[in-house]
């Protein structure tokens, strides 16, 4: 039944793909190669352009950062940027370059900075000039046409490209790019960059694009206004375009396995991104953010480098971190901790208190950071009575309502194990950030848990995150709970939790029935494009879900029933 349904789904998807291609246009039938050639040729004819650019990052970690700028470009290397909305730059800030010089102007304080540009092809401006970047990518790589979309009344062709060497085109880590090309102006309307995920690493959209308006050379130079004061630029900002990574794993893959990734983080902090500056400094910074806007920077550089660019003015004291002499400076707005190894110098900067900063540093040195203690098999105690279950649920879910704790007790099969503590989301940590950490724990544990799932003759029906803020594990009801195997499974989760700085990971293990699934395809579920309806029988209930055929590629990357089992 499933095999026939999947064949039907594939046939429907192939049909939908033919309909959604770039051949059914209002103008003429164009292939992906022809669209690419038209775009590249038009870009060669563009002498200048201006537009409002909206750029969004941080979508993969569900903390979107939106930046809006007015960008003006006169080829080959004349750029002017005005920041309209930015988390880092004040509205009205200007960045200007003529290819040899770079100026920053801060109108609110009437100050400016000036430096020279060593390579005009590698600057902050070229990073934001997606029109030119996409032209290079299309010229050197094969594109496929995946559809059309009307944006602001203009028909656009949607192309998808998987570059052979993505790092040639952008400092952001990506493996795939999608572009929307205007069929009238042949300018880029929108682009999205992806890295091993369906969620874009970067999303950029252009508004009100104007081309070949004979922009004056004056936009490429900066004349300081009356009374403007020049502000010095720290030496290391000569390289103004660092390489960018979205996750600690990506940063270690690209910038070195010995990066100081902490296994402990203060409550409320989440990894945002990593930056790597080349050249003689060879500096890498890991940036962690809090929901209130505070940041912690952990920086590594060779001993000859200066990882903290500007020394914090304040009282300094000598401290020891796991036997390593360190220097802690208390500043007015942030604190700084510095130390050295045989190869590198390090620093941590942020508004966190001394004890939290020391614990972070200790966790980068593989010291005792008061992490979650792994339990031995003797400590794993299977709960046999409702009285025990109610007591343990009360301990683990102390900060939730009685109705919610009753839900834990009554939803699904009998509880085998309850462990850890769910934090107080009104005081200790934001629920969104906590759930993101637990998703990371689950993701990091998945490969080690494969051998325990029922399809591999193991006891696990599935595992996931429940809405109360704990990990929930389903144990197949026809297999008696084994403390030794429970211990192994829990320790896998505990190890991943340490990487997220979670000291007392909450886990609930329950007996669960095997999932029975039926999958079929029909255009009754999603008229026009078709859909997949899934009937799931679990714990005495039957549940129905529908998925568009547009998600077929994602569905076929996993085995259908194992996917359902792990939800």
Residue by residue, DSSP assigns 90-158 as: -TT-EEEE-SSEEEEEETTTTEEEEEE-S-TTSSHHHHH-HHHHHHHHHHHS-EEEEEEEEETTEEEEE
Domain boundaries defined on the chain: 31-220, 242-364, 386-512
Helix (H) or strand (E) holding 511: strand 507-512
Instruction: Specify which of 221-230, 364-373, 446-455, 480-489 reaches the highest per-range mean pLDDT.
Output: 221-230
CA 62 to chain centroid, in Å, comes to 7
pTM: 0.46
Q: What CATH class does 242-364 carry? A: alpha beta
Q: 168-182, 232-246, 474-488, 497-511: lowest mean pLDDT where?
A: 232-246
Q: 117-126, 272-281, 310-319, 553-562: lowest mean pLDDT where?
A: 553-562
CA 189 to chain centroid, in Å, comes to 23
Distances (CA, A) of 178 to 46, 49, 53, 133, 442: 22, 22, 17, 12, 29
pLDDT(234) > 80: no
pLDDT for position 273: 81
Residue from 260, 294, 291, 293 nearest 274 by CA: 260
Instruction: Specify which of 206-210, 246-250, 377-381 reaches the highest per-range mean pLDDT.
Output: 206-210
pLDDT(137) > 90: yes
Residues with Cβ within 8 Å of residue 431, at least 6 apart in sequence = 425, 469
Fold for domain 31-220? Answer: outer membrane lipoprotein receptor (LolB), chain A (2.50.20)
pLDDT for position 313: 62
Taking the C-alpha atoms of residue 471 and residue 408, their distance in angstroms, rounded to an integer, is 12
pLDDT for position 423: 84
pLDDT for position 377: 46
Residue from 134, 141, 131, 201 nearest 172 by CA: 201
pLDDT for position 564: 38
**pLDDT mean across residues, the chain:** 77
Radius of gyration of the chain from its Cα atoms, rounded to whole angstroms: 27
Confidence of residue 108 (pLDDT cuts 50, 70, 90): confident
């Amino acid at each position: 039944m499933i095999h026939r349904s999947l064949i039907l789904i594939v046939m429907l998807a192939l049909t939908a793909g033919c309909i959604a291609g770039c051949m059914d246009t209002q103008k003429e039938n164009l292939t992906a190669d022809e669209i690419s050639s038209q775009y590249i040729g038009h870009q060669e004819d563009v002498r200048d352009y201006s537009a409002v650019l909206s750029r969004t990052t941080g979508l993969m970690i569900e903390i979107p950062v939106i930046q809006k700028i007015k960008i003006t470009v006169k080829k080959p290397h004349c750029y002017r940027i005005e920041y309209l909305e930015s988390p880092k730059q004040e509205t009205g800030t200007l960045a200007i370059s003529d290819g040899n010089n770079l100026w920053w102007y801060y109108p609110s304080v009437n100050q400016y900075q000036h430096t020279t540009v060593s390579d005009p092809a590698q600057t902050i401006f070229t990073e934001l000039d997606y029109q030119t970047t996409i032209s290079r990518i299309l010229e050197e790589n094969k594109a496929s046409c995946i559809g059309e979309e009307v944006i602001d009344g203009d028909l656009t062709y949607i192309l998808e490209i998987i570059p052979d060497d993505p790092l040639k085109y952008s400092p952001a880590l990506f493996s795939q790019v999608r572009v929307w090309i205007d069929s009238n102006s042949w300018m880029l309307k929108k682009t999205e960059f992806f890295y091993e995920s369906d969620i874009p690493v970067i999303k950029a959209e252009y508004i009100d694009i104007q081309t070949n308006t004979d922009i004056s050379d004056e936009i490429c130079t900066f004349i300081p206004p009356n009374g403007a004061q020049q502000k010095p630029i720290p030496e290391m900002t000569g390289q103004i375009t660092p390489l960018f990574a979205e996750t600690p794993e990506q940063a270690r893959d690209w910038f070195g396995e010995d990066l100081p990734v902490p296994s402990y983080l203060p409550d409320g902090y989440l990894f945002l991104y990593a930056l790597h500056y080349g050249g003689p400094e060879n500096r890498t910074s890991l940036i962690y953010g809090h929901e209130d806007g505070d940041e912690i920077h952990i920086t590594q550089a060779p001993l000859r480098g200066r990882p903290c660019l500007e020394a914090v003015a304040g009282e300094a004291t000598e401290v020891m971190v796991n036997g390593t002499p360190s220097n802690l400076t208390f500043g007015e707005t942030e604190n700084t901790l510095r130390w050295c190894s045989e190869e590198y110098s390090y620093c941590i900067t942020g508004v966190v208190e001394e004890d939290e900063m020391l614990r972070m540093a200790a966790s980068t040195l593989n010291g005792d950071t008061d992490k979650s203690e792994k339990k031995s098999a003797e400590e794993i105690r299977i709960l046999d009575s409702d009285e025990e279950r109610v007591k343990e649920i009360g301990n683990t879910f102390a900060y939730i309502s009685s109705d919610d704790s009753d839900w834990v007790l009554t939803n699904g099969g009998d509880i085998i194990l309850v462990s850890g503590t769910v934090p107080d989301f009104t005081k200790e940590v934001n629920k969104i950030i906590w759930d993101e950490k637990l998703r990371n724990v689950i993701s990091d544990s998945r490969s080690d848990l494969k051998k325990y799932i029922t399809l591999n003759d193991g006891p696990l029906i599935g595992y996931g995150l429940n809405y109360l803020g704990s990990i929930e594990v389903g144990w197949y009801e026809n297999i008696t709970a084994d403390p030794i195997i429970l211990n192994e499974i829990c320790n896998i989760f505990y190890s991943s939790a340490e990487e997220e700085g979670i000291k007392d990971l909450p886990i609930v293990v329950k007996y669960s029935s095997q999932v029975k699934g039926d999958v079929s395809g029909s255009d009754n579920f999603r008229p026009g494009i078709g859909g997949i309806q899934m009937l799931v029988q679990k714990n005495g209930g039957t549940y129905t879900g529908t998925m568009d055929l547009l998600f077929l590629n994602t569905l076929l990357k996993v085995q259908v029933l194992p996917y359902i089992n792990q939800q």
